[in-house]
């Protein structure tokens, strides 16, 4: 490393004050601080001196993301090859075949994200005359991890540019943004290019071909074609489409273990709850991520899912009453829309019928937490220290509301059965407000205690 240090010192000379390349000093300084600890210390003022700086914090998050990324590469290749080769399971694909296939597909996304994002960061650093911040080390990796594998690279590049320019630099750069930059990129792509960010043909490489299906569990649930473990009458419901489950869905024989381990289609690195939890342990153990936000998000999501399960049970009971009274058969409930219409249900009865046959509503709440991107979003994006709530009580409120709204949006919007992105962005906006009222409540309590103490002194 001494040789590298000497070479870097020689390369820095044209960038020193008074030299012809002085304006571009932030660029060379970025490489220096990335490779080595800064060789200067503060000279005046009050400062906290600690070995933990922004670079080490960002690197810790990157390390926490590595398990999910490596698994995502394997799963990306496995999901494609097992269908392409017509195997029985993703586990039947040779490990290195799957990993290499996935790495070939995912690596270009990572490269484009870093090249475009860091280029913009360097330009702004040079223009503003400040050092390059390390915040994009995490954002640049998060963005490709939350996108579909087949997203065109130019769309990814535009999404990255939008996130850095509008979501970050417009507010002043690292530490000043009010929205999570990675989710800003995803939101831009979702609304600008919806056909490439939603539907059942994008989550597996070449999922639009006849040989390969890209359907996810959430997509199957939203369409009523999920053939897995669901509570109540919705266990075999296809939302009155008239298409039998076994003829319309590839989501068969998917166990809770498959969902937890991540052997399912989805965004590049969001499918494995196990790998995300490993990352969560790293973040919490190093105190980089807030355990209050993570736990609060899980509590909020579970509570919202349990509420919907309760109403789904009411609907299931109502359907069983109709079947027991011979007004309709279960087969007609599942597959005959005209028979359901003939019941002439209205008001609360019609609502109960929908509640009982809606697969998203009846999907067990604990399974909601391990499918889709809800866990990944709570662990790696809701905990962003810049855009999250800062007070202890505020973090609880912030996390609980993210989980609550995430499941609510997922269920209420079947056209987009994944709500954690919108939930986090919404709470990013309200995080300062939450902290404001938490602080005001604390101030009010202290004023009341001070007033009581003054009264006691006067009466003593």
| Cα separation, 323 vs 232, whole angstroms | 14
Residue 45 has pLDDT above 50, yes or no: yes
DSSP character at residue 242 = S
CA 350, CA 344: separation in Å to the nearest integer? 8
pLDDT tens per residue, range 146-158: 999 999 999 999 9
> What's the confidence (pLDDT) of residue 9?
64
Q: Average per-residue pLDDT in the chain?
A: 83
Write out the two tokens for 447: 């004023």
- What end-to-end distance do the CA atoms of the chain give, in Å? 71
pLDDT on residue 13 = 65
139: which 2 tokens?
């954002």
Q: How far is CA 12 from CA 6, 25, 39, in A?
A: 10, 8, 13
- Report the C-alpha gap between 321 and 132 in whole angstroms: 66
**378 neighbors 302 (Cβ within 8 angstroms):** no
CA distances from 201 to 83, 196, 208, 405 (A): 13, 9, 5, 26
- Confidence (pLDDT) at 46: 54
Q: Where are the beta strands (DSSP E) in 293-365?
A: none
Which residues make Cβ contacts (< 8 Å) with residue 414, sequence separation at least 6? 222, 223, 360
What's 227's DSSP letter?
B
Among 145, 137, 140, which residue's Cα sits nearest to residue 67?
Answer: 145
**Can you tell me the mean pLDDT for 184-213?**
83
pTM score, whole prediction: 0.85
- pLDDT 10s digits, 104-137: 999 999 999 999 998 888 888 777 766 666 778 8
> What number of residues does the chain have?
460
């Amino acid at each position: 490393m001494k040789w590298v240090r000497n070479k870097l010192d020689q390369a820095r000379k044209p960038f020193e004050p008074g030299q012809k390349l002085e304006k571009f000093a932030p660029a060379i300084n970025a490489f220096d601080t990335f490779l080595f600890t800064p060789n200067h210390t503060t000279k005046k003022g009050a400062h906290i001196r600690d070995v933990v700086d922004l670079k080490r914090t960002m690197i810790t998050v990157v390390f926490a993301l590595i398990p999910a990324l490596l698994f995502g590469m394997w799963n990306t290749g496995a999901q494609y090859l097992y269908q392409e080769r017509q195997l029985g399971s993703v586990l039947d694909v040779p490990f290195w075949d799957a990993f290499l296939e996935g790495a070939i597909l995912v690596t270009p996304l990572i490269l484009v994200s870093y090249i475009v994002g860091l280029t913009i960061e360097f330009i702004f650093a040079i223009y503003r005359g400040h050092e390059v911040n390390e915040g994009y080390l995490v954002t640049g990796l998060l963005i490709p991890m939350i996108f579909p594998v087949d997203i065109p690279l130019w769309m990814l590049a535009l999404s990255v540019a939008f996130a850095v320019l509008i979501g970050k630099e417009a507010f002043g750069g690292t530490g000043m943004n009010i929205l999570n930059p990675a989710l800003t990129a995803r939101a831009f792509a979702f609304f600008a290019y919806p056909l490439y960010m939603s539907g059942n043909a994008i989550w597996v490489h070449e999922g639009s071909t006849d040989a390969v299906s890209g359907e996810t569990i959430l997509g199957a649930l939203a369409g009523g074609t999920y053939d897995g473990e669901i509570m109540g009458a919705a266990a075999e419901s296809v939302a009155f489409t008239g298409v039998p489950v076994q003829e319309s869905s590839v989501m068969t024989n998917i166990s809770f273990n498959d969902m937890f381990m991540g052997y399912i289609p989805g965004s590049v690195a969001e499918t494995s709850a196990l790998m995300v939890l490993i990352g969560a342990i790293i973040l919490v153990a190093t105190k980089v991520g807030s355990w209050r936000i993570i736990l609060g998000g899980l509590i909020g999501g579970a509570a919202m899912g349990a509420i919907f399960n309760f109403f789904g049970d009411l609907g299931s009971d109502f359907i069983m009453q109709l079947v027991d009274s011979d007004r309709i058969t279960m087969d007609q409930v599942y597959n005959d829309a005209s028979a359901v219409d003939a019941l002439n249900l209205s008001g609360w009865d019609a609502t109960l019928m929908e509640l009982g046959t809606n697969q998203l509503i009846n999907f067990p709440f604990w399974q909601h937490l391990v499918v889709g991107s809800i866990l990944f979003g709570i662990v790696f994006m809701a905990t962003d220290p810049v855009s999250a709530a800062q007070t202890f009580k505020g973090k609880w409120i912030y996390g609980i509301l993210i989980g609550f709204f995430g499941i609510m949006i997922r269920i209420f919007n079947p056209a987009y059965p994944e709500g954690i992105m919108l939930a986090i962005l919404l709470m990013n906006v309200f995080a300062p407000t939450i902290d404001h009222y938490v602080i005001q409540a604390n101030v009010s309590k202290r004023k009341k205690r001070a007033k009581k103490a003054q009264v006691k002194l006067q009466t003593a």
